[in-house]
Structures are given as structure tokens and as C-alpha cells.
Amino acid sequence: MAVDTPTGVLSPGTTPADASTTPVTVSFTRRADPAHTTEMIAWIRSGLLMAEAFPGFLGGGWVRPRSGSDEWHMLARFDSPDSLAGWEASPERRWWLGSAQGLAEMTRAERRTGIEGWFDTRSGSRRSARRRSPRHAGSRPPRSGWRSSR
């Protein structure tokens, strides 16, 4: 189970002392009018380009909304909470966020130090793959695209 801390969410087995050197990923969602797709793409790319110049930046990206959606999902990863804090407190980031006034509205932000929780369903339930019993000799081949070399 992940643990909430002031700098984000720690992975199981990570102590707060370890957190100062643990990479951290921030995800955020913005809403923008679908008529301004070109402007949103330019805005996101400019923010990632600025973040690349910051110490500790490990990478980032964005996912375009499905057709007609007004949501944009973005990720940025830094080598430590301190590096992320440096980016978040920077004048460059303040300018970048200010440039989105009237274009995009922040709807959600989340920080994590591991992958726990990124892919869980909102209700907290997890789907598990059902294990199929092996077929006995002489049965039909599996229905995959792979063929046996027999």
C-alpha cells in the first residue's frame, strides 16, 4: 500500500528518508476547449521543453484527448522531490502556467514515487487474469495467432 507524504505518495518499503532520492512523477489533468487543440499542443510542448533544462528532469509526455474530449493528461518525472520542487518554484514554470490563462484549467494533480495506483480502478478493485487449466494431449491448439511447429 502506498503512503501519502507532503511530497507525494511513497511506494511500499520506501521510508521518508529514502524519498529525498527517489524519483517522483507528477501527473496532471487540464481542461481546454477542443477548438483550441493547436494552442494546447504548443503550450504543452513549450512546458516540457522548459522542464528539460531543469536539473533532475527525467522526462515527460502527454496524451491527447479522445475525439471531442476537453481533457489533456500530462506527466513529468524528476529524479527527486527536491528537483521537482525546484521546477515547481521556478519563474519559468510560473510564466508557463500564466500563459495558459483563458486556455486551460487545472482539474487534477497527483504525485507518485512508484507505479502503485496509476492503473488501479477508482473503486480500488483490481481485475485479475483468470488462469486457464492446461489442455490435455490431443486437444485443439490454442486460439492465438501463433502456430505450433509440429
**CATH code given to domain 23-112:** 3.30.70.100
Prediction pTM value: 0.64
Strand boundaries in the chain, DSSP class E: 3-5, 8-10, 24-32, 57-63, 71-78, 104-112
Share of the chain above pLDDT 90, in %: 49
Share of the chain above pLDDT 70, in %: 63
Main-chain dihedrals φ then ψ at residue 44, nearest 5 degrees: -65, -45
Residue with more model confidence, 66 or 40: 40
pLDDT at 11 over 50: no
Average pLDDT on 80-109 reads 94
